[in-house]
Amino acid sequence: MYDMDDVVILGIESSCDDTSAAVIRNGELLSNVVASQGVHEEYGGVVPELASRAHQQNIVPVVDTALKRAGVERSQLSAVAFTRGPGLMGSLLVGTSFAKGFARSLDLPMIEVNHLQGHILAHFIKQPGEEIEVPQFPFLCLLVSGGNSQIVRVDSFSKMEIIGQTIDDAAGEAMDKCSKVMGFGYPGGPIIDKYARQGNPKAFTFSKPNIPGYDYSFSGLKTSFLYNLRDWVKDDPDFIEQHKEDLCASLERTIVEILMKKLKQAAKDTGIKQVAVAGGVSANTGLRNAFLDYSKRFGWKVFIPRFSYTTDNAAMIAVAGHYKYLAGDFCGIDVPIYSNSRL
Q: Is 87 left (phi over 0), alpha (psi -120 to 50) or beta?
A: left
Examine the pLDDT at 1 and tell me if it is beyond 70. Answer: no
Per-residue pLDDT tens over the stretch 99-149:
999 999 999 999 999 999 999 999 999 999 888 999 999 999 999 988 889
Q: Determine the structural domain holding residue 99 and report its residue range.
A: 8-132+310-326
Based on the domain organization, do 266 and 178 belong to the same domain?
yes
Q: Answer yes or no: do 81 and 164 share one domain.
A: no
Task: Please report whether residue 86 resides in a domain.
Answer: yes
Residue 39 pLDDT class (50, 70, 90 cuts) = low
C-alpha dist (Å) from residue 201 to 66, 152, 180, 247, 252: 42, 28, 20, 8, 8
Instruction: Evaluate whether residue 339 is within a structural domain.
Output: no
> What value does the mean pLDDT of the chain take?
93
Largest CA distance in the chain: 72
Residue 323 in this model has a pLDDT that exceeds 90 = yes
Residue 263 in 3-state DSSP? helix
Alpha carbon distance 94, 91 (integer Å):
6
Q: Is residue 208 part of a domain?
A: yes
Q: Determine which helix (DSSP H) or strand (DSSP E) holds 302, and give its type and residue range.
A: strand 301-303
Say how many domains are in the chain. Answer: 2
Q: What is the pLDDT of residue 51?
A: 81
